[in-house]
Amino acid sequence: MATNLLAAGFPLTVHNRTRKAEEPLAAAGAARACSPADAAATAEILCLCLTDGAAVEDVLFGPQGAAAALPAGGLVIDFSTIDPSQAQACHDRLRPLGLDLVDAPVTGGTEGAKAGTLSVLVGGAEASVHRAMPLLQTVGKTVTHFGPIGAGQQVKAVNQVLVAGSYAAVAEAMALGQRLGLPMEMVRQALCGGAAGSWALEHRAATMLRGDYPLGFKLSLHRKDLTIALAAARAVGLSLPLSERVSHLEEELIAAGHGDDDVSCLMRWFQA
């Protein structure tokens, strides 16, 4: 995502808690900052993409946090996936500093991030979203504004429920076909064009069948996101039995050491 912003001509200063990750961007022309505060000090727009809500709060409000250094009038675009209530809380802490926040979680995996074809799910004030739009349209092919702060995170929760069901269903179906002794690549191709067709079937089933799980989105991160979705469902009195079951499968795989594998490693559960 940062590479695409740089290639589009945006002046870019980068900071990563894993400092080595900054090096390719620096080689491509980005400036490097030694801390979140240093990165924010001269910025008009600050973009975050972090693993979870605790990391977002630390980068914004912790020691050497960006919020205190970002000049008044600054805008924070948070591409992270966090709880909608936490997005609202961050927004409320930024407003007295003269800052605004747009929550903009993305979907499309590392492939979409590299290609600039992500779907960006946006929540925030109309004026702030308009201001952010040139950057959002650089990292994403589809940018949709759903409503106020937290709305983007709510839509991402819906997305992760769909991901849970579709990946688990593809893994289960591929496992069944293998046990039946079917020519599974032929089966996969035939089903892609029918009612069972899905992104997961088209892009992940073949690698599942080979026992190969190229990283698009870590299982541990999806488990974190699914926890957010399940909490959102409980808050409105809704039971999500399929997502609950997938959550348990993911817990077992993470406990077995597969948390850094792609979500498609759900197939491993059927091969145990």
Q: What is the pLDDT of residues 138-186, one digit of tens each?
A: 999 999 999 999 999 999 999 999 999 999 999 999 999 999 999 999 9
Helix (H) or strand (E) holding 239: none
* Domain 154-271 superfamily per CATH: N-(1-d-carboxylethyl)-l-norvaline Dehydrogenase; domain 2 (1.10.1040.10)
Residue 272 has pLDDT above 90, yes or no: no
pLDDT of residue 271: 87
Cβ atoms of residues 81 and 156 within 8 Å: yes
Known catalytic residues are: 156
b/e per residue 254-269 (b: at least 16 CB within 10 A): beeebbebbbbbbbbb
SS (H, E, C) 92-139: HHHHHHCCEEEECCEECHHHHHHHCCEEEEEECCHHHHHHHHHHHHHH
pTM of the model: 0.94
Domain 2-147, CATH among 1.50.40.10, 3.40.50.720, 3.30.70.660, 3.30.450.20: 3.40.50.720
Question: Each residue of 237-256: pLDDT tens digit?
Answer: 999 999 999 999 999 999 99
pLDDT of residue 83: 97
